[in-house]
Amino acid sequence: MIIQITMARDEKHLIQDLLPIWKKYADGFVFLLDTTTDGTKEFLESVKNEYNILEILEENKSEDVLHIETDSRQKLFDAGFKYSSKIICLDADEYLDGQLTKEQLESALDNNKDSVFHLRWIQYTSKNSVRIDGPWNVNFKDRVGSYSRRHEFQPCQMHSTHLPIPQKQHYIELENLFVAHLQWLSQKHVAIKQYYWKTFDYVNKKKYNIDNTSPSAYDASVNDFKWKEQEFPYELKIDQNIFDKIEADKSYKYKYIIDQTNLHNIPNLGDWGLIFKDLKKLTDL
């Protein structure tokens, strides 16, 4: 039995389309929901039996308390480990694809206990194209693990690994299994998401004197939307316009940007001319 564990916040629009795809490799699911307001929990409860959703954990975070990401990831991992030693951890904008069958994946996990498998992280930009500029050309992520006992995360405030990392680590060839990442399907989604992290890191620095990622790193990831792309042999399994289901200015990320900018008088951290000056342009992208 393979369990998928997933953290999500207001991502019902993704989860409802991805659950049927996630079932290819997962026999059951454990979710950790962060301060959701879009009906995600209600939707998951309504399909609990259909998809064997074993637990729905919840967190309601306060803006006045420093959040440590690995505290949440440990809670999610521990919940999943109660049901299986074989665990897939995916974000709500990711799914697994490739030639490997579920039986082959399960056999690999059974034969490699206390191991993490790193998979290529593929950045879709349309139904059949992916980003290949900069770090997006060859990028691996920990998303699959097999554990004979409980493992602990190395403490990390933000941007932690998704699974605890044992000493034994493996890589799976691209054609066998890879992580399909959906972030770059929408430029307006990317603009809001990356500027949200700029704002989040700025607030953590101001309130707690914690350094995470510099704004220039997010700028480099966006690369002013001048992306190098190429065709990819595995066609996207969902609608490439999936992010159009959410109005940009209604998302919690956009609201956080505006609220925190006003509260802390944050200067423009480099918004690609989209977030503050021309919201109509942003929503029309």
Encode pLDDT of 129-174 as tens digits: 999 998 899 999 999 999 999 999 999 988 899 999 999 999 999 9
165 vs 103: CA distance, rounded Å: 23
Give the residue from 157, 155, 7 showing the smallest Cα distance to 68.
Answer: 157
| Cα–Cα distance, 69 to 159 (Å, whole number) | 7
- Residue 119 shares a structural domain with residue 202: no
Where a domain ends, among 129, 161, 181?
181
Contact 229, 132 (CB under 8 A): yes
- Mean pLDDT for the stretch of residues 11-26: 96
b/e sequence 218-257, b meaning 16+ C-beta within 10 Å: beebbeeeebebeebebebebebebbeebebeebbbbebb
Q: What local confidence, expressed as pLDDT, does residue 178 receive?
A: 98
pLDDT class of 276 with cuts at 50, 70, 90: confident
The whole-number average pLDDT for the span 34-58 is 95
Residues 6+ apart with CB under 8 A from 38: 10, 11, 12, 13
Q: Are residues 172 and 192 in the same domain?
A: no
The pLDDT of residue 32 is above 60: yes
Residue 28 pLDDT greater than 50, yes or no: yes
- Pairwise CA distance, residues 248 & 84, whole Å: 38
126 plus 147 within the same structural domain: yes
Sequence-separated (6 or more) residues with CB below 8 Å from residue 177: 96, 97, 98, 99, 100, 105, 117, 119, 144
| pLDDT score recorded for residue 280 | 55
Q: In sequence order, what are the residues at sequence separation of 6 or more whose Cβ sits closer than 8 angstroms to the Cβ of residue 268?
A: 276
Class of residue 37 by CB neighbours under 10 A (exposed 0-12, middle 13-18, buried 19+): exposed
pLDDT tens-place string over residues 47-99? 999 999 999 999 987 777 788 899 999 999 999 999 999 999 999 999 999 99
- Closest C-alpha to 208, from 61, 63, 66, 70: 66
185-213 pLDDT per residue, tens = 999 899 999 999 999 999 998 888 888 88
Distances (CA, A) of 43 to 16, 24, 55, 90, 223: 8, 20, 13, 19, 36
Q: Which residue has the tokens 């929503």?
A: 283
State what percent of residues in the chain have pLDDT above 70. 97
| Domain's final residue, options 165, 181, 197 | 181
Query: Residue 9: which CATH number?
Result: 3.90.550.10
Over range 17-33, report the average pLDDT. Answer: 98
User: Is the pLDDT score of 2 beyond 70?
Assistant: yes
pLDDT at position 174 is 93
Q: Which of 127, 147, 181 is the last residue of a domain?
A: 181
Q: Is the pLDDT of residue 35 over 90?
A: no
Top pLDDT among 59 and 281 is at 59
Q: Which residue has the tokens 């620095």?
A: 205
Check whether residue 37 and residue 168 sit in a common domain. Answer: yes
117 contacts 173 by C-beta, under 8 angstroms: no
3-state secondary structure of 34: strand
How many domains are contained in the chain? Answer: 2
What is the structure's pLDDT at 183?
95
Asked if residue 136 and residue 26 are part of one domain, the reply reads yes
Residues 132 and 53 in one domain: yes
Residue 285 has pLDDT above 50, yes or no: no
What is the Cβ-side half-sphere exposure of residue 63, based on CA atoms within 13 angstroms? 10
108 and 9 in a common domain: yes
Q: Are strands 94-97 and 178-181 parallel, antiparallel or unpaired?
A: antiparallel
pTM listed for this prediction? 0.94
Query: The tokens 């290949």 sit on which residue?
Result: 132
Q: Is the pLDDT of residue 281 over 60?
A: no
- Domain boundaries, position 113: 2-181
Q: 26 with 150, same domain? A: yes
| pLDDT band for position 283 (cuts 50, 70, 90) | low
Cα separation of 135 and 144, whole Å? Answer: 21
Using pLDDT thresholds of 50, 70 and 90, give the confidence band for residue 278.
low
